[in-house]
Structure 1
Amino acid sequence: MRILIIHNQYQHIGGEDFVMSQEMEALRKNHEVDLYTVRNVKGWKGYLQYLQYPMNWPQVKLLKAKIEEFKPDIIHIHNMHYALGPLFILHIKKMGIPMLMTLHNFRLICPSATLFDKGNIFLDSIKQDFPWNAVKKKALENSYFKTFWTGFTYWIHRKRGTFQHIDRFIVLSEFAKGIFSRSKFGVSMEKFVVKPNFVKEEFVEDPVEGDYFVYVGRLSEEKGIVPLLHAWRATNHKIKIFGTGPLQHEVEQIAAGSPHIQYMGFQNKQTLSKQIAHASAVVVPSICYESMPLSVLEAYALKTPVLASNIGILSEMVVPLHTGLLFDPHNHIDVVQKLNEWTSLTKEKKVAMGEHCYHEYVKKYSQPVVMDQLEQIYAEVALRKEK
């Protein structure tokens, strides 16, 4: 099968880019795969990209030329924000090529993309035809213009029926599918299919449990890292923080004032795998609706249980006393109580939970399982087009 992947890269490489590249690498083992990619830039060129967001004719022309050259059997779209925009979908439809799209976030129904604004879950856009409340709150990068223009871009294409031409939408969880089903997106749920992300299995020698916890991820408000550390200071448990982001300075200051909190900065994949494998548990304190945090998948692959927020998909992925524990990230007392509950468990119980984590990984999040699901989706979409 000849597969063309379309992906708009962000200015800084993130999880969506990583997931896309992993899938593309795996697909190339059995298929002819090509990539059409553009990248968001800064400065006046970035403003021009944003202004063209709703109707980017230059990108349509370039993409059509790529399609005519490669002649794909199927097209898989990952991200369109913002140098690409959705206009090309209408023109691919005229070319008769089946299309599917992975929805890594909620941008098609809310400019925030994360359904998070100023420290809280933000669901107003789900029930609004046009996301005026998001615009009033400057839900995207604290900007009236960016929030309005992003909301307008997807609103106008919903009105034009652009997204009705996508043959299949891939969401990462039943939770995400439920959000779209309750929204004003307007596309039949029959077009939605759930397929999670995967991580490659890593092997670490002698993964003996240590006496510390690990946080791996972006240091930003929606990840809940600062409230977690404020709660953590009331305990004598050790935690290592891996990652960078806009709250790095605040995290460094908190770590400097606590002997049990250690900021490790950015580390390579091998180092992270070793630290996760030896940790007592990985902590995921997000206060937003995650799409599918790779840190949970990486922990499961290394037989390390997860202590996570009882929010969104995390409450689906983490089963209390089976693969970890859940806590209320807004309640410091609950955070401390769950840490104490975790440390009171026997070594045998924790080892058994680690095995459950690995079983979940093999069954749901391993590369062979997830890629088999993706190839089945491709086959079904291609078969429907032939009929």
Structure 2
Amino acid sequence: MNILLANKFYYRRGGDCIYMLNLEQLLKEHGHKVAVFAMDYPENIETPWKQYFPQNMSKLMAFTRPFGSAEVKAKFNKLLDDFKPEIVHLNNIHTHLSPIIAELAHNRGIKVVWTLHDYKLLCPRYDCLRNGDDICELCFNEDKSSCKTYKCMKGSTLASLIGYKEATTWNRRRLEKCTDVFICPSKFMAQKMAQGGFNSKKLVSLCNFIDIDKCKKDTYEKENYYCYVGRLSHEKGVKTLIKAAQKLPYKLVIIGGGPLSDELKNETTNTNIEFVGYKQWDEIKEIVSKARFSVIPSEWYENNPLSVIEAQCLGTPVLGARIGGIPELIENNVTGMTFESRNVNDLTSKLEAMWQHTFDYKEIALTSQKRYNSESYYQNILKIYQ
């Protein structure tokens, strides 16, 4: 089968990119021919498909790209002509590539499958946060004007107007018409899509997978610390985590960088909290696998965070916020615990409870590796393709 995968970036930038790279490898291992369509970005992995990539988006292109630029249409059509895919599998394509590529494929009679990594089809901001703080669902209906009213796009009137125009141009009816299946990595995502009016018959809930071989270990011994892995940004809830962590005597290792990095370091007075910065997978694996548990303190509608899946496959239980798709991944007192998102007191008490609780680390790893293995995912994705 000829399968074309599309995502705006083609390197390990975030969960959407990692998912697509893993899927590309998985499909090739099963004998499929796979092509890639992405923006020509400096950090991209080298690929022979680069000749079809539209150029890196400039600030000026922000006025044209979201609506389907001439370059994107020309290069994508050329790729369709040359590769002749039977399936076009979209990922994170808004703004930089735009859903125009779904229409181009659909108009040729090609099946279009779309894995949703965030809430962009419901919320112009993608994260359902008003002004980057309060949970907001005002744009889940046909009227997207709240995006302009609250200047949801970076607090900018112009950016919010573009976001509004993009959302109304690529409205639910137009997106549904050119997409055969929307893959929702969490049941929560599927529920929100249905709430936003999308046809439930086109929604399939399918949890993400990972390369479990990279998580396999000989021993599951732990050291006396817990950890956080992720971007240091507001919606990730790291501020809330640090407020709770500073009340306790246990060591916390924070992996990652982001816009709040300097602020968080300056506000942290507890010497038991260590910031180790951005790390590659081999270093992340070492730290997470030896941690007594990992914390996902998110304050937005997380979809299907790989940080939970990877930690559990390493035999590390997870303390996760009860928000978005996170609770679906955690079996209470078996693979971790949950706490009320944004609640410092509840988080503090659950950190204490996680530290005191006895977990079967090896069993967590073996069960999780079985649950999230690539072969199971392949059988499910093949059914969707066929």
Report if TM-score (shorter chain) is over 0.5: yes
Q: How does 1:294-313 map to 2 (within 5 A)?
A: 294-313=306-325
Q: Any stretches of 5+ residues in structure 2 without a counterpart?
A: 43-54
Structure 1 partner of 2:126: 113
TM-score by length of 2: 0.90
Q: Does 1:317 align with 2:329?
A: yes
Q: How does 1:4-83 map to 2 (within 5 A)?
A: 4-9=4-9, 13-29=13-29, 30-39=31-40, 45-83=58-96
Superposition deviation, residue 161 in structure 1: 2.4
Aligned residues of 2:309 and 2:368 also touching (Cα < 8 A): yes
For 1:258 and 1:114, locate their aligned partners in 2 and report how far apart those are by CA, in whole Å.
31
Name which of structure 1's ranges 287-296 and 157-166 shifts more when overlaid on structure 2: 157-166
Report Cα offsets for 1:94-120 as digits up to 9, x if no partner. 211111111111101111101123322
Name which of structure 1's ranges 162-171 and 63-72 shifts more when overlaid on structure 2: 162-171
Q: Does 1:218 align with 2:220?
A: no
Instruction: Indicate the RMSD between aligned Cα atoms, in angstroms.
Output: 2.2
For 1:248 and 1:54, locate their aligned partners in 2 and report how far apart those are by CA, in whole Å.
34
Structure 2 partner of 1:350: 359
Superposition deviation, residue 141 in structure 1: 2.3
Structure 1 partner of 2:52: none
Aligned residues of 1:50 and 1:83 also touching (Cα < 8 A): no
Paired residue for 1:370, among 367, 377, 384? 377
Aligned residues of 1:40 and 1:46 also touching (Cα < 8 A): no
Paired residue for 1:329, among 334, 341, 363? 341
Aligned residues of 2:67 and 2:98 also touching (Cα < 8 A): yes
For 1:238 and 1:102, locate their aligned partners in 2 and report how far apart those are by CA, in whole Å.
37
Superposition deviation, residue 200 in structure 1: 1.6
Structure 1 partner of 2:208: 197
Superposition deviation, residue 279 in structure 1: 0.7
Q: How many residues align?
A: 370
Q: Any stretches of 5+ residues in structure 1 without a counterpart?
A: 380-387
Amino acid at match of 2:133: G
Q: 1:372 and 1:43, CA in 2 relative to 1: closer, same or farther beyond 3 A? A: closer
Q: How does 1:139-178 map to 2 (within 5 A)?
A: 139-158=152-171, 161-178=174-191
Identical aligned residues as a percent? 25
Superposition deviation, residue 203 in structure 1: 2.7
For 2:41 and 2:123, locate their aligned partners in 1 and report how far apart those are by CA, in whole Å.
20
Structure 2 partner of 1:275: 287
For 1:236 and 1:190, locate their aligned partners in 2 and report how far apart those are by CA, in whole Å.
50
Report Cα offsets for 1:132-164 as digits up to 9, x if no partner. 122222222222222332232232232762431
Q: 1:175 and 1:293, CA in 2 relative to 1: closer, same or farther beyond 3 A? A: same
Report Cα offsets for 1:257-279 as digits up to 9, x if no partner. 21110111112211111111111
Q: 1:44 and 1:53, CA in 2 relative to 1: closer, same or farther beyond 3 A? A: closer
For 2:10 and 2:22, locate their aligned partners in 1 and report how far apart those are by CA, in whole Å.
17
For 2:312 and 2:116, locate their aligned partners in 1 and report how far apart those are by CA, in whole Å.
23
SS in 2 for 1:28: helix
Amino acid at match of 2:83: F
Superposition deviation, residue 205 in structure 1: 4.3
Aligned residues of 2:10 and 2:38 also touching (Cα < 8 A): no
Report Cα offsets for 1:185-207 as digits up to 9, x if no partner. xx311111111212222233433
Q: Does 1:138 align with 2:151?
A: yes
TM-score by length of 1: 0.89
